[in-house]
Amino acid sequence: MANTSTINPFETAKQQVDIVADLIGINDGVREVLKHPKRELTVNFPVRMDDGSYEVFTGYRVQYNMARGPTKGGIRYHPQVTLDEVRALAAWMTWKCAVVNIPYGGAKGGVVCDPKKISRGENERLTRRYASEIAPIIGPEMDIPAPDVYTDSQTMAWIMDTYSMLKGYSVPGVITGKPISLGGSEGRGEATGRGCAYVIREAAKDIGLKMKGATVAIQGFGNAGSVAGNILYDEQGAKIVAVSDSKGGIYKADGVNPHAVEEHKQKTGSVVGFPGAKTITNDEVLETKADVLVPAALENQITKKNADKIQAKIVAEAANGPTLPEADAILFQRKVTVLPDVLANAGGVTVSYFEWAQDIQGYFWGLQEVNSRLERTMVQSYNDVHKVATEKKVHNRTAAYVLAIQRVVDAIKIRGIYP
């Protein structure tokens, strides 16, 4: 993985705003609004550890833009969480919600901690303290958190319970990514991978690629990557020729059954060593001869060093930020269709929105309804982005940002500045 410590993610996020603002002629005043978070909260709170001692932890919640509705975004627990990282992620969530046209702004939260070094009891106490500290600025009408790095449905259940205790009644709509028994949505777990598979299918139609028999390489066979692989294999008839995880990758020219690979990974802890497949590196997975490449692992994987070695016709970003800007330009020149993260992995936030909508009305949908609504949203969003890309003769990432930022700008202008 490239060294990201020298890159300030929030500076990158602001540069992206400038590029789009120049392209579509946004005035300086509105441009400045787009480059500043609306509200940011830093909290320092004590947590009682298992040995009876107290430790003080620092947490953040940034609400980037509320012009299109309440804010939405995950909470991550990680030793390297910084305020600038949280600001950048909140900005990207703003654009992601606007790309798929759901009525949210973007937010993000984080706590500086090492989840691997704290017990379950300490994690619960930390989560409840953090939730009570940010409680004044979250809520179903204001800001709806969700899981992110090293947080899960159990974390969300603790936050929902803490917020509900403060209110004196149950408020399932304060959070998404909850267990189904507490008002979670069917289909939420596989939404990111499923949404990614839908946009791959639509892009394939546009470039004349038949998905039946098309070859696919997946870097990062975790939640998003494995689900995308299963759906491409089961529903679209694609051939999965290469997959990898953090320990390495496998390649088999005539394809593997992704369900069997998943079973092997559950038994052994890795995809490596899958019977009949050749062991390859994560870098080799990216450069595999395949029609479709799904980077579903870490950021900064496709750089100017390897962009000219990518053999895929479609690169679908199930991960956040796997392609660096200089690589985008090379891929665009080589006529590779890149489906950017703000579009390709927006299935997760889309079904989070469905979960919130179900909680608010206290009426729940079946899996088929969730998936068909997700499909409609992803197909429409892909078509919207493709139209802008074709009209403005730009690559899909710029097109997605143009579409998203224009939608936010329209909302800011129509609402006006109060007072």
Alpha-carbon span 269 to 282, nearest angstrom = 16
Name the DSSP letter for residue 40: E
Name the DSSP letter for residue 302: B
Alpha-carbon span 237 to 27, nearest angstrom = 48
- Taking residue 148's Cβ as centre, other Cβ atoms within 10 Å add up to 20
Distance of CA 133 to the CA centre of its chain: 25
Q: CA 186 → CA 178, 288, 296, 358, 361, distances in Å?
A: 10, 34, 22, 11, 16
Residue 419, preceding peptide bond in cis (omega within 30° of 0)? yes
Length of the chain: 419
Beta bridge partners of 261: none
Rg (CA), the chain: 21
Exposure b/e, 398-407, CB count within 10 A at least 16 = b: bbbbbbbbeb
Residue among 249, 245, 221 nearest 233 (CA): 221
Q: Is 265 a catalytic residue?
A: no
Neighbouring residues of 300: CB distance < 8 A, sequence distance ≥ 6: 1, 2, 4, 321, 322, 324
User: At residue 76, what is the residue type?
Assistant: R
Residue pair 77/149 in contact by the 8 Å Cβ criterion: yes
Annotated catalytic residue within 96, 108, 239, 265: 108
Strand 248-256, strand 239-245: pairing: antiparallel
| Pair of tokens at residue 297 | 């692992």
So which residues are the catalytic ones? 108
